[in-house]
C-alpha cells in the first residue's frame, strides 16, 4: 500500500492531469473573456443615450452576476458529484460553460432586439457562473483522487497553474484581436470571435474528457456502499466546521491575491504611476507566467515538506514579494519586470490551497465541502476585494500592499494552525500505539 502511495506519476496520471488542466484553463478563459471586451459589450448591449457611468456599472453588474451564481451552481453540482460520480459532473461543468459561451458570441445586440439583449447576456452569464462553480472544486477532487497519495500536492499545484493559465490565454486572445482589428471591426464582429473560440475549445475539451475514468476513491465508496446517506451539505455544516473555516480563509488568500496582484495591478500602475498600458500588460503577462511556475513549485514542496510548512514559507515570501513590488513602483519603475515577476512567483503559494482543502473533508462529502467553502468565499471576497482596496487607497496609495500583507499574515496563521494540528495527531497516534 505504501509503495502505491509513493509511486511516481505514470502515463495515465499525466493524461488525467493534462486533460483536467486543459479543460479548466479553457473554462477559466470562457469565464473571464467577458471582462476583456466589457467596453464594447457595454456599447452594443445598452441604449446609445445611456450615461457612460451607468453603462459601465450595468456591464460589470452582468460580469459580477457570474460570481454570485457560483455558490448555487457549485453546491448543486457537488451534491450530485458526491452522490452519482465525479466524472459525470466534471464533464457536465465544461458543457455548461461551452454552450453559453457560444451563445454569447451569437447574441443579437440592443439595436436588434432591445432590452432582451442585456437580459439574455445576463442569463448566459449566470449559467457560466454555475458551471465554473462546479468545475474548479470538481477538478481538484478528480485529480487528487486519481494520483498517488504522496503526489497529490504536485498534482493540485499543477492543476491550479493550469486553471490560472486561462487568464493568460484570455489576455493573449484579447491582445491579438485588439492589435489586428480596428475598433470599428471589433464593434461590428470582432468581439464575437473570442466567445466562439472559447465555445468550440470547450466542446473539444469535453470530448477529450470522455477518455477519463471515474476516480478510484469514488468507485471504492460505491462498492462498499459508503456514499453519503444524508444530504452532503447538511453533513459538512454539522460535522466539518473546521474544514469550512480553513478552506474559506485559504480561498480568501487565493482569490484576493490573484485579484490584487494579477488583475488590478495593471490598472493601478497606469493610473498611479503613469506606466504605459502596453508596458504594464507585458509585465502582467510575465507575472502571470511566474505565477504558474510558483503554483507548481508550491505543490512540489507540499509533497516533500508538508502543506503547513509550505504555506508558512510561501506566505512570508508573498509578504516580501508583493510589498516590494508595490513599494518599488514609485521609486524604481525601470525594475518593473523584475519586481512584478517575483511578486507573481510569490503568489504561487496559492498552489497549496487545493491540497489543504482536499484533505479537510472525507471522501464521501469532499466535493460538497470544497465547493461550498470555495464558492461562497470566492463570491464574497472576490467581489469585496476590489472595493475594499479602492476605499483603503483614499487613506494610502500603498493600500494594495497592505491588503496582500494582511492576507499573508492570515496564510501564515493557517499554516501554524495546520502544523499544530499535525503534531497533535502524531502525539495521539503514538500514544494509542504505546497504550495498545
Between 98 and 436, residue with greater pLDDT: 98
pLDDT band with cut points at 50, 70 and 90 for residue 4: low
User: Using H for helix, E for strand and C for coil, what is the string for the chain?
Assistant: CHHHHHCCCCHHHHHHHHHHHHHHHHHHHHHHHHHHCHHHHHHHHCCCCCCHHHHHHHHHHHHHHHHHCHHHHHHHHHHHHHHCCHHHHHHHHHHHHHHHHHHHHHCCCHHHHCCHHHHHHHHHHHHHHHHHHHHHHHHHHHHHCCCCHHHHHHHHHHHHHHHHHHHHHHHHHHHHHHHHCCHHHHHHHHCHHHHHHHHHHHHHHHHHHCCCCCCHHHHHHHHHCCCCCCCHHHHHHHHCHHHHHHHHHHHHHHHHHHHHHHHHHHHHHHHHHCCCHHHHHHHHHHHHHHHHHHHHHHHHHHHHHCHHHHHHHHHHHHHHHHHHHHHHHHHCHHHHHHHHHHHHHHHHHHHHHHHHHHHCCCHHHHHHHHHHHHHHHHHHHHHHHHHHHHHHCCCCCCHHHHHHHHHHHHHHHHHHHHHHHHHHHHHHHHHHHHHC
pLDDT, one tens digit per residue, over 282-300 is 888 899 999 999 999 999 9
The domains located in the chain, with CATH, are: 9-214 (1.20.1250.20), 230-436 (1.20.1250.20)
Q: For the ranges 20-24, 30-34, 168-172, 428-432, which has the lowest average pLDDT? A: 428-432
Q: What pTM was computed for the model?
A: 0.84
pLDDT, one tens digit per residue, over 30-61 is 877 887 788 788 889 988 888 877 887 788 78
Between 301 and 168, residue with greater pLDDT: 301
Amino acid at each position: 500500500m505504501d509503495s502505491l502511495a509513493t509511486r511516481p506519476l505514470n502515463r495515465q496520471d499525466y493524461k488525467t492531469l493534462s486533460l483536467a488542466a486543459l479543460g479548466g484553463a479553457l473554462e477559466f478563459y470562457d469565464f473571464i473573456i467577458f471582462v476583456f471586451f466589457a467596453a464594447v459589450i457595454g456599447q452594443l448591449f445598452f441604449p446609445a443615450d445611456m450615461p457612460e457611468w451607468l453603462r459601465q456599472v450595468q456591464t460589470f453588474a452582468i460580469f459580477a452576476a457570474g460570481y454570485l451564481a457560483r455558490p448555487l451552481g457549485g453546491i448543486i453540482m457537488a451534491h450530485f458529484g458526491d452522490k452519482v460520480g465525479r466524472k459525470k459532473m466534471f464533464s457536465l461543468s465544461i458543457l455548461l460553460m461551452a454552450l453559453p459561451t457560444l451563445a454569447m458570441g451569437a447574441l443579437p445586440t440592443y439595436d436588434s432586439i432591445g432590452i432582451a439583449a442585456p437580459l439574455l447576456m445576463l442569463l448566459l452569464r449566470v449559467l457560466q457562473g454555475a458551471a465554473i462553480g462546479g468545475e474548479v472544486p470538481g477538478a481538484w477532487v478528480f485529480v487528487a483522487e486519481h494520483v498517488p497519495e504522496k503526489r497529490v500536492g504536485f498534482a493540485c499545484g499543477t492543476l491550479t497553474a493550469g486553471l490560472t493559465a486561462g487568464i493568460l490565454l484570455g489576455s493573449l486572445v484579447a491582445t491579438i484581436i485588439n492589435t489586428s482589428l480596428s475598433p470599428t471591426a471589433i464593434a461590428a464582429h470582432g468581439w464575437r470571435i473570442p466567445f466562439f473560440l472559447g465555445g468550440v475549445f470547450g466542446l473539444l475539451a469535453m470530448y477529450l474528457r470522455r477518455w477519463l475514468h471515474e476516480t478510484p476513491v469514488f468507485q471504492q465508496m460505491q462498492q462498499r456502499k459508503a456514499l453519503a446517506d444524508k444530504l452532503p451539505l447538511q453533513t459538512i455544516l454539522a460535522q466539518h466546521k473546521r474544514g469550512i473555516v480553513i478552506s474559506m480563509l485559504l480561498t480568501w488568500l487565493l482569490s484576493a491575491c490573484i485579484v490584487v496582484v494579477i488583475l488590478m495591478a495593471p490598472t493601478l500602475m497606469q493610473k498611479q504611476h503613469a506606466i504605459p498600458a502596453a508596458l504594464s500588460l507585458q509585465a502582467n503577462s510575465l507575472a502571470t507566467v511566474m505565477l504558474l511556475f510558483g503554483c507548481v513549485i508550491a505543490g512540489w514542496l507540499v509533497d516533500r515538506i508538508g502543506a503547513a510548512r509550505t504555506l508558512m514559507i510561501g506566505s512570508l515570501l508573498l509578504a516580501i514579494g508583493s510589498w516590494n513590488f508595490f513599494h518599488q513602483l514609485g521609486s524604481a519603475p525601470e525594475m518593473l519586470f523584475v519586481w512584478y515577476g517575483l511578486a507573481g512567483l510569490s503568489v504561487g503559494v496559492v498552489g497549496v490551497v487545493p491540497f489543504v482543502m482536499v484533505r479537510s473533508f472525507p471522501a464521501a462529502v469532499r466535493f460538497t465541502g470544497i465547493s461550498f467553502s470555495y464558492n461562497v468565499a470566492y463570491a464574497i471576497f472576490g467581489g469585496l476585494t476590489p472595493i475594499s482596496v479602492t476605499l483603503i487607497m483614499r487613506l494610502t496609495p500603498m493600500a494594495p500592499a497592505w491588503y496582500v500583507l494582511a492576507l499573508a499574515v492570515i496564510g501564515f496563521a493557517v499554516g501554524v494552525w495546520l502544523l499544530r494540528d499535525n503534531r497533535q495527531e502524531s502525539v495521539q497516534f503514538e500514544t494509542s500505539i504505546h497504550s495498545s
